[in-house]
Amino acid sequence: MIRGTRGYVAPEWFKNTPITAKIDVYSYGVMLLEILFCRKSLDMGRENEEEVILVDWVYDCFKARKLSKLVEEDEEARNDMKRLERLVMVALWCIQEDPSLRPPMKKVIQMLEGVVNVSVPPCPSLFSSTSFC
């Protein structure tokens, strides 16, 4: 039986793959996106279907270079788009479907603090339904 909060459960729980500490990195990435965009990871009440699954919507906006679409009503975030982009990239690294691509938490902290550079992450999903992956 799988236990966990819907939207935070790492993909390896649904596959026949080993469970490692990287499941916590995945959950942290989802939580970081929720904090950044002040919404739940799954929001069935969204009028626009592409916005229902937060991680997919964020990646689509990131890839299209339209992060401002995610923070239209947040003036503070709009005034610091470079920082927002870095935080989004950290979260996208954390939610990689392939656990081996997720950074260890120590590196996540270093990326968040700006101690190490954050490279552009690949599409988080191996089998994404988004048009950009």
Instruction: Give the three-class secondary structure for 122.
Output: coil
Among residues 128, 66, 114, 124, which one has the least CA distance to residue 86?
114
Cβ–Cβ < 8 Å for 101, 122: yes
Domains and CATH numbers, the chain: 11-113 (1.10.510.10)
Cβ–Cβ < 8 Å for 57, 69: no
**Separation of CA 22 from chain center:** 14
pLDDT given at position 23: 86
Q: In this structure, what token pair is assigned to residue 15?
A: 């596959």
Which pTM was predicted? Answer: 0.82
Looking at per-residue confidence, does 132 or 119 come out higher?
A: 119
Kindly report, residue by residue over 48-103, the tens digit of the pLDDT: 777 778 898 999 999 999 998 888 777 877 778 899 999 999 999 999 999 999 99
